[in-house]
A and B are shown apart, each in its own frame.
Chain A
């Protein structure tokens, strides 16, 4: 390991300008906004910790997901999560956890995962909607920039050749093999497809499902929320997509960690990415 590092440091390399300033600014704005949206969203979910399908929550059908606390067999409260009617004990994490001071917390998600930490639905809504505006404006700016600067066509759209080579790219990812030399200047095809699905599928869907929960926006074109299956379905979709985005973040951070953390951090802060040529 140590020997390998010495070789790579000794091999010729240069800094390549990989990320433009607007992309870097919008990347970090998006990161901060999405983190706060996710955590304040979990807080809002805590106000009614159940998900349904359809228009209403009281349709006679049981919830799809429910996180709550109930008395266990020994009379002590336990945290439980019910998914499609199946119950799992989740004490310590979901349904019943502890505040930092050791007091029991019977909200669905633990206080360390929510903004604010202590329960305040009104404050969580303020955090959520303020950063929702930042997130949407930033997203619109990003899409416009990507179209007009050709960032989208040049850096994100996969070529036919890349798509045909998707098998190799999958194999490389499984083996944790990362591109070097000129190939490291570009996003690989799986990376491109992941970014495109987040930018053009998941993020628009999470916004749309969020809007579908606003009774005022519902009234602009009555019935449009039915396209998402009704308001409670929209709330369920909003929740699921939020967790898919979290999953994306986890994989994204993992890939950054294993493919040269500081190199990636420098390139997303200063724009410059070190390309090794002698490897």
Chain B
């Protein structure tokens, strides 16, 4: 072989092994204890900058009826298992009660009829899934701020936690879906407990009887099948301690990006 070709071949081989090294290197780093923590610093960074740029009143884009997706995709659970939820379905959620408690002055139990009688907001918004797809739906519900003013949060309440009816995964002890948001998002005018989608009652695959809409964050924050709302100072002692089912499974708590 001619020496020039030989050195070119060596160069290509070198580049190839460098690439392979980079790949295994990245995978090794992903498996260490410390490196994912370094990577995760982006969450605080993005969240702080986003908070600076978009304070409480920054509003998610709203669309028109013409923009509505022909059908609204259901992701994750489409029918919660368990006798309790099945009984609620049978009664048309007539026996369903939303429990609102934790760090509040006046804990409350609210029926669907009571929630429907409260002030309502209808908004046509885009739902962005962490996977990458978007769908546009028309949501009707009661602003969470109205529910909160009813129960009067205590001064040390920092997060609102949503406990849901759907058990996730296939493990023996069921892990129920849950989510949490901070008070800024909880009091945001577009944050609603939605009981209607596209002019009808919220369908079961989309989270009946109510689901959370928190429009400036990705889909997994929008908890479906909400059964209980709890105000807390910290979510460190709830389930895996990361503030949500997907957060306990490695996803970012701040899902504005």
Contacts and interface: CB of A to CB of B under 8 A. Distances in A.
Interface of A: 1-2, 5, 35-36, 39, 44-45, 47-48, 50, 55-60, 112, 115-118, 120-123, 125-127, 129-130, 132-133, 213-220, 222-223, 225, 231-232, 235, 257, 261
B9 interface: no
A118 B27 contact: yes
Interface in B23-74: 23, 26-27, 30, 36, 38-43, 45-46, 50, 53-54, 58-63, 67, 69-73
Interface string B118-135: 000000001011111111
B4 interface: yes
7 contacts: A2-B3, A55-B67, A56-B67, A115-B26, A129-B46, A215-B216, A217-B50
B205 interface: no
Nearest to B257: A214
A50 B133 CA distance: 8
A125 B257 CA distance: 10
Contacts of B69: 56, 58-59
A48 B58 contact: no
Contact of B30 (A59, A112, A116): A116
B42 A129 contact: yes
Interface of A is mostly: helix
A132 B42 contact: yes
A115 B67 CA distance: 35
Nearest to A51: B132
A1 B2 contact: yes
B203 interface: no
Nearest to B31: A116
Contacts of B197: none
A154 to B, nearest CB: 32
A36 B29 CA distance: 13
A222 B125 CA distance: 11
Contacts of B23: 112, 115, 117
B250 interface: yes
B216 A219 contact: yes
A215 B129 contact: no
B134 A121 contact: no
Interface residues of B, number: 55
A216 B54 contact: yes
B27 A133 contact: no
Contacts of B78: none
A117 B40 contact: no
B68 to A, nearest CB: 9
B194 interface: no
Contacts of B45: 133
Given A55-B136, A121-B130, A215-B257, 6 more contacts: A2-B2, A36-B26, A219-B216, A222-B60, A223-B61, A257-B11
A220 B4 CA distance: 57
Given A126-B42, A218-B61, A45 B132 contact: yes
Contacts of B63: 55
A2 B252 CA distance: 58
List the 10 closest pairs (A to B, CB-CB), nearest first: A216-B256, A122-B250, A48-B132, A58-B69, A57-B133, A129-B42, A126-B39, A47-B131, A48-B131, A214-B257
B135 A56 contact: yes
Given A122-B252, A214-B256, A116 B26 contact: yes
Nearest to B214: A215
Given A44-B132, A126-B42, A116 B59 contact: no
B22 interface: yes
Contacts of A59: 69-70
B250 A58 contact: no
A104 to B, nearest CB: 19
B176 interface: no
